[in-house]
Structures are given as structure tokens and as C-alpha cells.
Structure 1
Amino acid sequence: MATATHDHSHSFIPREPSDNKLLAPLRRWVDGIEVGDRRFAHLLCKIIPCQCAFERDISLFGRKYHIPALCKLNPLYYETIGLRFRALSYLTDVCGEDVTCYIC
């Protein structure tokens, strides 16, 4: 009996087996983006936040509402974080740059 195997050796964070199969091609595409240009790496580090954005509680008209962290709403969160990590690694390892300005 053959079993399906998934190679996630290039991924930053392992996947859960219950992943949505419709998003798998997009996830593979994002995971496959190569960072080989200094300007592209800097752009990625600037546009991808280093931490999950704004989880908070707000009060409106006497009621309290909870806004979840945006990373919980993004189905490609782990892939984008992996892409940012690859960009940081490229800048550090290949370009020899100091990336402390991109670290939160």
C-alpha cells in the first residue's frame, strides 16, 4: 500500500496534515520563492512584519469585542514568515549585512 509523502525540507515551519488542499499550490509557490537579490531581500524584510499584528480588545457602546491576531486569519502566515526568514538569512549569510534593523 502506497502512502503519500510530503517533502517540506525547504519549509521554515512544518505543516499540519489537515491543511486545506486548495491552498497547497499557493503554499508551494510561496515556499519556492528564491531570495537571490539584495534589493528584493530588503523589500521582503520591510513589507513582511516580524511579528503577528494587533491582537486586542476594544470597547464599543459598552460591549467588549476581541480582535484576533491577524496571523490567525492569514492562511499563508507560515509561508510568509519563512520567506522573510530566507530574506534575512540571505542578507546575513550572502551579503554580510547587519539585519538588526529588521529584528523586533
Structure 2
Amino acid sequence: MTATEAFTAVDAGAEIVKLFPGEMLTPSVVKALRAVLPPHIMCIPVGGIAADAEQMKKYQSAGANGFGLGSGLYQPGMSDEQLTLTAKSYITAWQSACDQMA
């Protein structure tokens, strides 16, 4: 969650940094981390990211390379059909955010 922790991971050989909890790390924080991390390091916010193209676009514009999904994607007891619909909403939101960035 801090630049020090991210650099510790990079120094240990990480090429991807999990930014958790994503909902506490605003796009401004992601942008600040991107400014100091090596450009080849991928930043993946995890936790609290909604399947919303506008929110995803803000994180993507700040330098997020993708998102980790947990309870926003799956809840215990969820049907296969609901899981499929939820997954598709995340895919659509990500694609829309990518299209808006182009």
C-alpha cells in the first residue's frame, strides 16, 4: 500500500505490484506510485473496484494495468448464470475504459 512496500517487492524481483485495498488507493495514489516505480512494473488495484467503466477509466488513466477481482465478482452461493453476468459486466466496463483511452 506504500511506495516503500512496492519497492521492496520490486527489489525482491516482482514485476507486478498488487495495490490493496484498491478502494482506499484512489487514482491519484496510483498515479503517484506510477511516477516513482519503474515503467515495466505492472500495478494492479485489488479490492473494492466496481464494474463501472468510468471508475476503471480513472484508474487506467492513472496507470493501472488491470484489476484483481474478488467479492465484487463472486459471492458464495451465486449461481453460474449470475457469475457469468457479473463477469461480463466487468469485461464490458474494462473494454469501455480501454476504448475511451484510445
Identify the structure with the greater helix proportion.
2
- Structure label with greater radius of gyration: 1
Greater relative contact order: 1 or 2 (C-alpha under 8 angstroms, separation 6 or more)?
Answer: 1
Q: Name the TM-score, length of structure 1 as normaliser.
A: 0.29
Q: Name the TM-score, length of structure 2 as normaliser.
A: 0.30
